[in-house]
Amino acid sequence: MQEKVLGKKLDSKKQIAILGLSSLYANNNKLHYREAYCMHDYFNIGGNREQQLGNLLTLIAEDLDIPEDLKAGLVLKYNHLGSWIRKDNEDRYRTESEIYPQGSVRLGTSIQPVTLECGYDVDIVYLRRLSKNSISQEQLVEQAGEQLKRYIEFRRLEGKEVPELVRRRRCWAMNYPGRFHMDVLPALPDDDGTLFTRSMETSILLTDRQLWQWQYSNPKAYAEWFRECEILAFTEKRISMARAGNVEVEQIADDAVKTPLRVSVQILKRHRDVRYSGNPDDKPISIIITTLAAAAYRNERELFDALMGIITRMETSIEMIDGKWWIPNPVNPKENFADKWNQFPQRAQRFFEWLAAVKADLEALLQLSGLNNISSSLSASFGSDVVERSMKKFGDGVDASQQRGDLRMAVGTGMLNMSTGTKVVKNTWYGN
């Protein structure tokens, strides 16, 4: 049986080369693969305990990704909004504008909420090329709001899905029916006073309803810094994916490459969300987790090694200056991501409690025997539904190895491998 990829038939050899490949689609002439691009990446049954746990955690992170159908719809709405705003500004003789994603969507570290009714949160910068001396924060926000109202009316007249528009502290939230909402952040270029930033060309000013001063930000430079922290692992993984798919490296889209750092951030954020699902106000914020994780990452190849290394080293980037907690923005050292810790000391306490908990939970996995016990432990940390689906995928991979006759059980651990141990008898599913 031959498969078609992008309209081209694959011969049997290529099918074998990309065994387990799923969710292959084209966008901007690049190929996107889910993490399951090669089955042995997940189900490396011959690996040691850390590798197998890493495989399970990778499956959990994949399950937490924005679903492909939802991502496709999100991209369409994002592009539609950007095109409409550019045309609207041209028609009204306004200055140039730019719309681009920031945060976890840009970094590739998005995860689903614990309660799916909350929906996925997508942050979008709406940059207007104006001087801050020519417009106030309130004017910028109000003009953006009026424009978004016209856009929503345009969608209504076109018979398209219409979002609810809500003003928040720093943005306008466009809540679409279903599973996601876009937070549109009005912004201006930061033309002066930010020589300390990593890149003046991409520095921006944001509004804040509770503060009279403009707020500095630089999501593009932050994304570049994050990428530099994982560049070795990213390059190696991208090459590996290209070889597995028998395509050129350039055909593998950047956001399709799930490095151990990106997956680690997803795992850490999910652990936090589950732990603080009943008390979200005091949970560690994502920018702190992401920044400390990236700073602590040493381009480890294996996920479990990366996670444990990150957790062990995260505290080294937390400073105490003049009696105040300080976690500097790596692209703007004068910005303190831990400023709220000094205002609400319990948040610092909650962070260190969480860090100790996630380390203890991961270390405990190393001591457990049998997939049932491991599954129970993972469910407590990451949610039963997510773990159940991930364990099923892991089991499917185990079944494949079992059918090949190369699956063995390591004596005394209950873990599975393909090298030494007691051979597992084939199960044809015909009964006893």
As averages over each run of 10 residues, the pLDDT of the chain (432 residues) reads: 36 31 35 39 58 95 92 90 95 89 94 82 94 94 98 96 94 89 95 60 89 89 97 96 94 92 98 93 95 98 97 97 96 90 96 98 93 94 96 77 50 37 32 31
Whole-number pLDDT of residue 38: 38
Whole-number pLDDT of residue 349: 96
Domain 82-217 CATH assignment equals 2.40.128? no
Q: Using CB atoms within 10 A of its CB, is residue 386 exposed (0-12), middle (13-18) or buried (19+)?
A: buried
Whole-number pLDDT of residue 255: 85
Q: At 229, which helix (H) or strand (E)?
A: helix 219-229
Q: Using CB atoms within 10 A of its CB, is residue 153 exposed (0-12), middle (13-18) or buried (19+)?
A: exposed
Whole-number pLDDT of residue 300: 96
Q: At 231, which helix (H) or strand (E)?
A: helix 231-245
Cα–Cα distance between 189 and 130 in angstroms, integer? 7
Domain with CATH 3.30.460 in the chain: 82-217
Whole-number pLDDT of residue 414: 35
Whole-number pLDDT of residue 102: 93
Cα–Cα distance between 288 and 296 in angstroms, integer? 12
- Is the Cβ–Cβ distance between 117 and 123 less than 8 Å? no
Return the amino acid letter for 400: A
